[in-house]
Amino acid sequence: MDPDSALNSTKATQIPCQEEDALSPSTALLPFNTDSSDCSNPTKKHTTTIVFISLLLVACISLSAAAAFAFLFFSSASTSSSPITATSFSAETTSRPLTKLKHPVVILISSDGFRFGYQFKTQTPNIQRLIVNGTEAETGLIPVFPTLTFPNHYSIITGLYPAYHGIINNHFVDPQTGEVFTMRSHEPKWWLGEPLWETVANHGLRAATYFWPGAEVHKGSWNCPEGFCMFYNGSVPFEDRVDKVLSYFDLPSSEIPVFMTLYFEDPDHQGHKVGPDDPEITEAVAGIDRIIGRLIDGLEKRGVFEDVNIIMVGDHGMVGTCDKKLIFLDDLGSSIQIPAEWVQSYSPLLAIRPPPSVTPSDVVKKMNEGLQSGNIKNGKYLKVFLKEELPSRLHYAASDRIPPIIGLIEEGFKVEQTRIKHQECGGAHGYDNAFFSMRTIFIGHGPRFARGRKVPSFENVQIYNLVTSILKIQGAANNGSASFPGFILLPSPS
């Protein structure tokens, strides 16, 4: 309301005076002392008018402030739940130009088992620096199922679900040949799809890998070149790995690899031993932050930190496990016998391949009847499926390598064959990727990533297309969305 109009309105409206007893109900309820003598006293009348106008002005100002606060509050609330393109807090509309490098460069970093939320366990100034000045998946990166190390690392690097890239578990059996895949199997026949280092090589560009599952495999145009492809050795200090990557930036510009990987075993190593909530995890996270700081410092000394696109991810999360959360297959004896030789994986992914003489659907039916009978300890925490009847969101059926019977185990529970007396409390992963505990991190920093931007969670199969988009090369067919980079990356200047 305009103050002048308020004043005029007050002057025009005179409330008639009434003679009332001092203790009459109407007088007693008034907020101020309005003695009846005011009606015959001009000075008091004028004072009353001024007080009224002042109160009216204060009320108007308060209402305006409240309205402004409400607008800001609800605008902020609506922003946080709006689509991916509306979550940016950056005014940048295009990618930042390179100042020293002659071509785009991506460093893809994996911190194994870095569960989403670990970054808040302790001071992580270097990781936070990447977050504050980059783009972060606000509620974490979603791994593929099963949430295991090899399947997820190879999904990140190929953009394919495990059923399509072939690495369906950390260990599995080829049903045609009977051969066993282990984490030391480097024969190309196991590793399907086209990993990023191969894609880069196909375009006549240079890639460098300091550890990554599948990098040692000679495949297509990638021959794991000496000096640019390190054979896995877990005893190599993290500092040495970072320093080797930094040394590539001392090469002539045309020889600097356009794509590099860095892999660290922590905090997965500690998580399996002590679970996700132990002080040892906090120490491991602080250690990872220090090593990220070493990388940042080295890039800054070479004047290329703002030119390099750094993508920091994990492969999966971690959840605590303990003896009281066990399910024993031998307890199913009254319903069905499950011999150990049928079982290819117990936990956290139960995988069963019965002999050809046994019908998988009969096994599934009898197992679920026993588990749901109430006679099996913790039986309700395991549900068994024919692989083709698994939830389609898991994308875990289209491969002969996947056994016909898959058991989904509830978070934190484990399956074993028989009861033995042992004490085990630690951590595990591999569970349904819908569990929040299986989420990991995604942080992007560099000229193609907006500063201070938060984006919704997404699956790690999208990362392949992000990298090829940054490098401006044509990627291979994959399960990611071709349009996805447009939601995450700043567009290049036209």
What is d(CA 362, CA 427) in angstroms, rounded to the nearest whole number? 33
End-to-end alpha carbon distance in the chain: 49
Distance CA 103, CA 206 (A): 12
Half-sphere exposure of residue 85: CA atoms within 13 angstroms, side-chain side: 8
Q: What is the pLDDT of residues 73-85, one digit of tens each?
A: 333 333 333 334 4
Q: How far apart are CA 320 and CA 32, in angstroms?
A: 65
Cis previous bond, 348, omega within 30: yes
User: Locate tokens 């491991």: which residue?
Assistant: 284
Assess if residue 94 is contained within a domain. Answer: no
Instruction: Output the domain CATH number for residue 475.
Output: 3.40.720.10
Residue 295 makes CB contacts below 8 A (sequence gap 6+) with 107, 109, 242, 245, 246, 262, 310
User: Are 278 and 331 contained in the same domain?
Assistant: no
Asked if residue 236 has pLDDT above 80, the reply is: yes
Separation CA 230–CA 165 (nearest Å): 22
Higher-confidence position of 181 and 32: 181
CA distances from residue 433 to 143, 227, 264, 279, 395 in whole angstroms, order as listed: 6, 36, 22, 25, 11
Q: Is residue 69 one of the residues assigned to a domain?
A: no
Count the neighbouring beta carbons within 10 Å of the beta carbon of residue 337. 11
* Section 236-254 average pLDDT: 97
Neighbouring CB atoms inside 10 A of 134's CB total 22
Shared domain for 170 and 237, answered yes or no, is yes
Rounded to 5°, angle at Cα 203 from 198 and 208: 50
As a whole number of angstroms, the distance between CA 46 and CA 52 comes to: 10
C-alpha dihedral sign at 41, 46, 48, 49: positive
Number of domains in the chain: 2
Would you state the pLDDT for residue 398?
98
Same domain, 159 and 255: yes
The conformational region for residue 275 under phi > 0 = left, psi -120 to 50 = alpha, else beta, is left
* Domain end residue (candidates: 403, 424, 445): 424
Full domain range(s) for residue 353? 323-424
Question: At 201, which amino acid appears?
Answer: A
- Give the per-residue pLDDT at 494: 65
What pLDDT digit, counting tens, does each position of 211-235 carry? 999 999 999 999 999 999 999 999 9
In a domain, 249, yes or no: yes
How does the average pLDDT of the chain come out, rounded?
86
Question: Given this model, what pLDDT does residue 419 score?
Answer: 87
- Six token digits for residue 9: 């309105």
In a domain, 173, yes or no: yes
- Tell whether 173 and 268 lie within a shared domain: yes
With 0-12 / 13-18 / 19 or more C-beta atoms within 10 angstroms meaning exposed / middle / buried, residue 424 is: exposed
Domain boundary among 374, 401, 424: 424
Same domain membership, residue 117 and residue 262: yes
Question: Which residues have a catalytic role annotated?
Answer: 149
In 3D space, the residue among 402, 415, 405 whose CA is nearest the CA of residue 384 turns out to be 405
Q: Which pLDDT does position 92 carry in this prediction?
A: 83
- Residue 330 in tokens: 């031998």
Q: In 111-183, which residue ranges form alpha helices assigned H by DSSP?
A: 125-132, 149-158, 162-165
**Domain assignment of residue 73, yes or no:** no
pLDDT of 420: 80
Q: Are 310 and 398 in contact (CB under 8 A)?
A: no
State the pLDDT at residue 57.
54
Instruction: Look up residue 435 and give its two tokens.
Output: 């569990």
- Provide the pLDDT for residue 90: 58
Number of H helices, E strands in the chain: 13, 18
On whether residue 267 sits in a domain, the answer given is: yes
Tokens of 50: 């001024």
The amino acid sitting at 394 is L
CATH assignment of the domain containing 362:
3.30.1360.180
Give the whole-angstrom CA distance, residue 230 versus residue 215.
8
Tell me the backbone φ, ψ of residue 344, rounded to 5 degrees. Answer: -100, -20
Same domain for 277 and 331?
A: no
User: Does residue 60 have a pLDDT over 80?
Assistant: no
State the average pLDDT over residues 147-174. 98
- Domain identity same for 381 and 454: no
Distance CA 173, CA 230 (A): 27
Q: Token digits for 57? A: 């002005």
Given a cut of 80, is residue 361 above it in pLDDT? yes
Residue 54 in domain:
no
Task: Yes or no: say if 426 and 321 are a contact pair by the CB < 8 Å rule.
Answer: yes
Ranges of beta strands (E only) in 11-59 are none
Domain identity same for 240 and 368 = no
Distance CA 394, CA 445 (A): 29
Residues 358 and 375 in one domain: yes
User: How much is the pLDDT for 87?
Assistant: 52
Residue 7: inside a domain: no
- At 379, the pLDDT band (50, 70, 90 cuts) reads very high
174 and 157, same structural domain?
A: yes
In tens, the pLDDT along 303-342 reads 999 999 999 999 999 999 998 899 999 999 889 999 999 9
- Please tell me whether residues 403 and 265 are part of one structural domain: no
Other beta carbons within 10 Å of 297: 14
Q: Same structural domain for residues 246 and 281?
A: yes
The separation between CA 286 and the C-alpha centre of its own chain, rounded to angstroms, equals 19
The rounded distance, in Å, linking the Cα atoms of 473 and 79 is 33
User: In the numeric block, which tokens belong to residue 328?
Assistant: 């024993």
- Domain closes at, from 402, 424, 446: 424
